[in-house]
Structure 1
Amino acid sequence: MDESTERSHSVVSWSTPTAAVVALVAGGVVLAGAAAFGGLDVAGQVLIGLAALGLFVNAALSARQRPRLAIGPGPTLVLQRVSARRVYERGDIDRIRLVKYPRLGRRVPMLELDVREPDGTEKLVIFGRWDLGTSPQTVFEALSVHGLVPDEK
């Protein structure tokens, strides 16, 4: 879990673990080496090269979106997207809830956020354990403690 606390702003944040990003890069390097020096046929080299590229892209996106979710001063909800960082005030949050989705034969908790953009459009953002680096239940509880979880209507 990537929880950091800044004394001046009391920010709590969550993101993909750094070790996971490093493992993606290492896997990409290994696959790129296998594609370049593996002595495979051309089709095999292309496929392994594409797999390496996929790992590098995933690592870059995970590194770019750090922290993925944070509680800012106020408190506010801060979401880091690929293109920009979005800050949502308490009134911009329509709903935050835990939902269990079926995945690989079991039900996995995901954190769902319904938020309103400044232009009035509504967005649904879903975070899993990979995005947060910890259990979505833990994040939900922290958001609740900071008063960011609206009451269910």
Structure 2
Amino acid sequence: MDDATPVRQWRVPASLPAAKLAGAVLLVALGLLFADGDPVRLALAALVAAGLAGWAVRDLVAPIRLAVDGSGLTVAHGFAGHRRLPWPAVEAITVDRRPRLGLTTEVLEIDAGESLHLFGRYDLGTSPEEVAATLRAARPGTAT
């Protein structure tokens, strides 16, 4: 892949922020329903709902979590920022699989020396294994 090759991007599925916002509304509704005049219960429900809504806003403001082109990767960094990683800075691209509660979770790990970037299925909108294979194939100087 050369520098003129189009950028490939992976983003949060559109349904995810909608589900988070619906969950925030549901939490406030449940807080109102079960508060029974207790301001602490209502405040706790509102606080958790605000956190969930903030998480949804991040997905709406910066939906692209990972992008690749001939010169390197662009990864999500911080709340809604991005960091550029040129190919020489990328030391390893791996997929970590762990069984938990009868399910296997996969996480894409991009090791850039002093920083480690982790992406799950819901960050990428597809399987981390597929993304890792695409990234390895896009990396200059690697055999496919």
Q: Which AA in structure 2 matches 1:102?
A: P
TM-score using structure 1 length: 0.76
Q: Which residue of 2 aligns with 1:113?
A: 110
Structure 1 portions without partners, runs of 5+ = 1-7, 117-121
Q: Which residue of 2 aligns with 1:99?
A: 96
For 2:128 and 2:18, the matched residues in 1 are separated by 22
Deviation at 1:83, TM superposition (A): 5.2
> In structure 2, do the counterparts of structure 1 residues 138 and 63 end up closer, same or farther at CA, with 3 Å as the change threshold?
same
Which of the residues 7, 13, 20 maps onto 2:9?
A: 13
Deviation at 1:150, TM superposition (A): 6.7
Bigger relative contact order, structure 1 or 2 (CA pairs below 8 A, ≥6 apart): 2
> In structure 2, do the counterparts of structure 1 residues 109 and 16 end up closer, same or farther at CA, with 3 Å as the change threshold?
same
For 2:116 and 2:23, the matched residues in 1 are separated by 32
CA RMSD of aligned residues (A): 2.4
Number of equivalent positions: 137
Please list, as runs of the form range in 1=range in 2, the aligned pairs for 1:78-93 lying within 5 A after superposition: 78-81=74-77, 82=79, 84-93=81-90
Kept in 2: contact 1:95–1:114 (CA 8 A): yes
For 2:50 and 2:97, the matched residues in 1 are separated by 31
For 1:130 and 1:148, the matched residues in 2 are separated by 27
For 1:149 and 1:104, the matched residues in 2 are separated by 40
Which of the residues 22, 35, 44 maps onto 1:40?
A: 35
Aligned pair 1:133/2:125, yes or no?
yes
Deviation at 1:54, TM superposition (A): 2.3
Per-residue CA shift, 1:62-93, capped at 9, x if unaligned? Answer: 22332000113x24201122253111111010
Please list, as runs of the form range in 1=range in 2, the aligned pairs for 1:42-81 lying within 5 A after superposition: 42=38, 43-72=40-69, 74-81=70-77
Kept in 2: contact 1:24–1:58 (CA 8 A): yes
For 1:104 and 1:78, the matched residues in 2 are separated by 33
Q: Percent identity?
A: 31
Corresponding residue SS for 1:61? helix
